[in-house]
Amino acid sequence: AQKITQTQPGMFVQEKEAVTLDCTYDTSDQSYGLFWYKQPSSGEMIFLIYQGSYDEQNATEGRYSLNFQKARKSANLVISASQLGDSAMYFCAMREFLTGANNLFFGTGTRLTVIP
């Protein structure tokens, strides 16, 4: 089974609008971390936000927030006030801390295009 599932191959959003990128995960570990990375056309993977499985509050970093719903095993990324520079591939990833602690499992990504 896939550890990380991103069901949206591509998304479009109007500049200055908010957008939600979906991510669901599969793990039997009680302790894990969820990450979102941005990959612009240059190829570099840029860390955006982290959510620990025991964190009670949803993580936020500037315009990025993570909508963490543990019971549903979802960790959607919300980008508010989209900017043209947000156009990129976005990857959701997970690390299981009790097993496979050295591996980040990545989803297949969502390509976000911000329309002016």
Partner 1 sequence: SQTIHQWPATLVQPVGSPLSLECTVEGTSNPNLYWYRQAAGRGLQLLFYSVGIGQISSEVPQNLSASRPQDRQFILSSKKLLLSDSGFYLCAWRPPGQNYEQYFGPGTRLTVT
Footprint on this chain of partner 1 (rule: CB under 8 A): 4, 33, 35, 37, 42-47, 50, 52, 91, 93, 95, 97, 101-104, 106-109
> H or E element: which one contains 96?
strand 88-96
Q: Name which of 78 and 104 has its Cβ closer to partner 1.
A: 104
**Measuring CA to CA, which residue among 29, 36, 38 is closest to residue 101?**
29
Q: Name which of 68 and 91 has its Cβ closer to partner 1.
A: 91
3-state helix, strand, coil in the chain (%, to 5): 5, 50, 45
Please state the closest distance from residue 116 (CB atom) to partner 1, in A: 25
Dihedral of CA 73/39/56/103: which sign?
positive
Q: Name which of 15 and 62 has its Cβ closer to partner 1.
A: 62
Please state the closest distance from residue 113 (CB atom) to partner 1, in A: 15
Asked whether 71 and 64 are in contact (CB, 8 A), the reply is no
Please state the closest distance from residue 67 (CB atom) to partner 1, in A: 19
Please state the closest distance from residue 108 (CB atom) to partner 1, in A: 5
